[in-house]
Amino acid sequence: MSVMSELVLREATASDAGAIAGILRAQAIFVHIDAEAPEETKVRLEERIRASVPSHDLILVALVDGSIVGYGAVRWMQNLILRGIDGYLSELFLHPDAVGKQIGTRLLNAFRDAAKTRNAERLWCINLRDRDSYKRAFYRKSGWDERDIAVFMERQPPSR
């Protein structure tokens, strides 16, 4: 499918929080988001976007005809072993109506460009194997290698 000419990518601002919250809710895979009121999600995302630091975070939104249809976020991380920094793609989500139109590829390419500007050595993401993006090999088809490594996680007790 051809790339739509009206696609715009730009950095997210706090005023995008409601649209991003809507995209996350539309995934219908995040139990805590589905359980809370839309306003609650929006306020939380506003706070998180405001708390992002330009030297460490890049949050991009994708707009078609002026409406946000997707977003992605990368955190730039120090790694003293490497010659450059790492970029961790923590999220990349499109509204279900916007998938399959190369918008995800365009967002990924924008993060690649940003990685180049920052002399990053690698981009990473964790892709759960039960997700459509994994099943349809989005990252592999985009040229990313699947690493045979263990990912460890410890859930932290809630602070309040």
Ligand X SMILES: CC(C)(COP(=O)(O)OP(=O)(O)OC[C@H]1O[C@@H](n2cnc3c(N)ncnc32)[C@H](O)[C@@H]1OP(=O)(O)O)[C@@H](O)C(=O)NCCC(=O)NCCS
Closer by beta carbon to ligand X, 104 or else 120: 104
Among 18, 43, 118, 133, binds ligand X (CB under 6 A): 133
Contacts of 123 (CB under 8 A, 6+ apart): 74, 86, 87, 88, 89, 111, 112, 115, 144
- Under the binding rule (CB under 6 A), the answer on residue 87 touching ligand X is no
Q: 61: closest CA among 23, 17, 9?
A: 9
Report which residue's Cβ sits closest to ligand X: 104
Q: Is 138 in the site for ligand X (CB under 6 A)?
A: yes
Residue 132 interacts with ligand X (CB under 6 A): yes or no: yes
- Selected from 38, 39, 136, 146, the binder of ligand X by CB under 6 A is 136
**What is the identity of the amino acid at 46?**
E
Show the beta-strand stretches assigned E in 12-155: 57-64, 67-77, 86-94, 122-125
Residues near ligand X (CB under 6 A) are 27, 92-94, 99-105, 125, 127, 131-133, 136-138, 141
